[in-house]
Amino acid sequence: MRIIVIGGGAAGMMAAVAAAEAGAGVALLEKNDRLGKKVYITGKGRCNVTNACEKEEFFAHIIRNPRFLYSAFDRFPNGDMMSFVEAHGTKLKTERGQRVFPASDHASDIIKALKKALDEAGVKVIFSAQAEKLQIRNGAVTGVVCTFADEEGKPKRKTLQADRVIVATGGLSYPGTGSTGDGYRFAEEAGHRVTDRMPSLVPLSARFEKPLSDRFSPKSLMGLSLKNVGILVEQGSKKITEDFGEMLFTHFGLSGPVILSASALLGTALEEENVKKKGPVRLHLDLKPALSEEQLDARFLREAAENKGKQLDTYLAGWMPKALIPVILGQAGVAPAQKVQTVSKAQRTDLIRAVKDLPVVITGLRGFDEAVVTRGGVDVKEIDPKTMASKKVSGLYFAGEVLDLDGTTGGFNLQIAWSTGYAAGKGATDNKED
């Protein structure tokens, strides 16, 4: 049996190995001149290859269509991925939050393990090969129309015949790595529904509220990184998410781990119609999540007695990074030059409220070129969850980010790719006689 896998990313490499190990003749088409260009940049170059948590917790981190993923995950769970990588020569380590990385901290070692597996399984990898179109005859896929570079580097078109085709072309995020959304077009041309796509795990555009926004913007705090802050995101009175961790102010708004995680839950809320109907999405920033307003008030009173004569802005340097002081004082409506001992109870209340709840209006998601993953994709209702087979076209399979599946940060998105890639590779070879 001849199988073509389109896309030499995480899902495609795994699909090719699984299919070839089952005895199929497999060609892996990759439009770049190397495999796994995106995998190289994952986890800031360290590749958070999976998450070692228990199954139940794993699925709590899958945002879109977790139920669809059950069978594929059972077929190739996180533990199997870890054994696979180690069996192919790359040692792993597990860090905080059960995040799994190569022991060397080099994403390249994950690719090395996959290349070794591809080699051992006898997969033919064809580089600089761009799939243009699926060839479909009488409801069955029969090949892939592809553009190659010939010896002189000129593009040459050719149709490669196949009994099965696995589409693993990725999503739309970081298109510079090769994931430019070609698979969505292949799916639509094959009669599949593709759900709306939007960036996820992405920085957020934001502004302060009036009157603070007349004087300050997140841009005025650009580069400021905050550790151990709390965030609560609401639309109207409806809580969307609450988290704790690290964030960053940027020239357009907010970024950093807690912000990226929150972004995964904000896409729909930020749609124009929803904002019109339900009001703006607000993030409430808590600079001192470990302390209550009462505890902060007691601290202020105690320290004010010890710091008589000091200006408020000087005194507050012990509470927060310098750049934030004028913003917090602006929000509280208290003058920076006011002496600590003259702060009234009402002013103290306003000040502490601003420290515990600095509202920031989220105005949008940033674009696909900054997004870790794509939300939306090939509608999983039209895909067999055990084999990743198309229910529309015989012999056609999908795996990885091209499907309408996504998770939070922590190794979950790559595990989606490994599990669905494996299921597709095995699924395509399940029925060997045809």
Ligand X SMILES: Cc1cc2nc3c(=O)[nH]c(=O)nc-3n(C[C@H](O)[C@H](O)[C@H](O)COP(=O)(O)OP(=O)(O)OC[C@H]3O[C@@H](n4cnc5c(N)ncnc54)[C@H](O)[C@@H]3O)c2cc1C
Question: What does the binding site for ligand X look like in residue numbers (CB under 6 A)?
Answer: 6-12, 29-32, 37-39, 41-43, 47-48, 130-131, 168-170, 173-174, 177-179, 182, 372-373, 400-401, 411-414, 417
Question: Of 10 and 53, which has the nearer Cβ to ligand X?
Answer: 10
Q: Cα separation of 416 and 401, whole Å?
A: 8
Q: Cα separation of 79 and 77, whole Å?
A: 5
- The least CB distance from residue 28 to ligand X, in Å, is 9
- The least CB distance from residue 1 to ligand X, in Å, is 21
Question: Of 11 and 393, which has the nearer Cβ to ligand X?
Answer: 11
Angle at 241 between CA 237 and CA 242, to 5 degrees: 105
Question: Of 172 and 354, which has the nearer Cβ to ligand X?
Answer: 172
- The least CB distance from residue 44 to ligand X, in Å, is 7
Question: Of 142 and 338, which has the nearer Cβ to ligand X?
Answer: 142
Q: Between helices 108-121 and 10-21, what is the axis angle to 10°? A: 30
- The least CB distance from residue 307 to ligand X, in Å, is 45
- The least CB distance from residue 241 to ligand X, in Å, is 20
Question: Of 330 and 411, which has the nearer Cβ to ligand X?
Answer: 411
Query: Prior bond to 199 cis, omega within 30?
Result: no
Q: DSSP code of 192?
A: -
Question: Of 389 and 399, which has the nearer Cβ to ligand X?
Answer: 399
Question: Of 9 and 256, which has the nearer Cβ to ligand X?
Answer: 9
Instruction: List the 50-51 sheet strands across, edge first.
Output: 50-51, 99-102, 92-95
Yes or no: say if 399 and 413 are a contact pair by the CB < 8 Å rule: no
Distance of CA 112 to the CA centre of its chain: 23
- The least CB distance from residue 57 to ligand X, in Å, is 15
Q: Cα separation of 233 and 359, whole Å?
A: 9
Distance of CA 76 to the CA centre of its chain: 21
C-alpha pair distances (Å), 4 with each of 256, 377, 379, 417: 38, 21, 22, 17
Question: Of 262 and 373, which has the nearer Cβ to ligand X?
Answer: 373
Question: Of 178 and 253, which has the nearer Cβ to ligand X?
Answer: 178
- The least CB distance from residue 144 to ligand X, in Å, is 9
Yes or no: say if 169 and 378 are a contact pair by the CB < 8 Å rule: no
For tokens 């939007």, name the residue: 198
- The least CB distance from residue 206 to ligand X, in Å, is 21
Q: Cα separation of 390 and 203, whole Å?
A: 34
Which tokens hold the place of 173? 């995020």
Helix or strand run (H / E) with residue 304 = helix 293-306
Q: DSSP code of 105?
A: S
What residue is closest to ligand X based on CB?
9
Residue type, 200: S
- The least CB distance from residue 127 to ligand X, in Å, is 10
Question: Of 79 and 211, which has the nearer Cβ to ligand X?
Answer: 79
- The least CB distance from residue 25 to ligand X, in Å, is 18
Yes or no: say if 304 and 341 are a contact pair by the CB < 8 Å rule: yes
- The least CB distance from residue 191 to ligand X, in Å, is 19
Yes or no: say if 333 and 346 are a contact pair by the CB < 8 Å rule: no
Choose among 333, 330, 222, 244: nearest CA to 288: 244
Question: Of 48 and 263, which has the nearer Cβ to ligand X?
Answer: 48
Q: What is the DSSP string of 352-377?
A: HHHHH-EEEEEEEE--GGG-SEEE--
Q: Cα separation of 105 and 111, whole Å?
A: 13
- How many helices and strands (H and E) does the chain possess? 15, 21
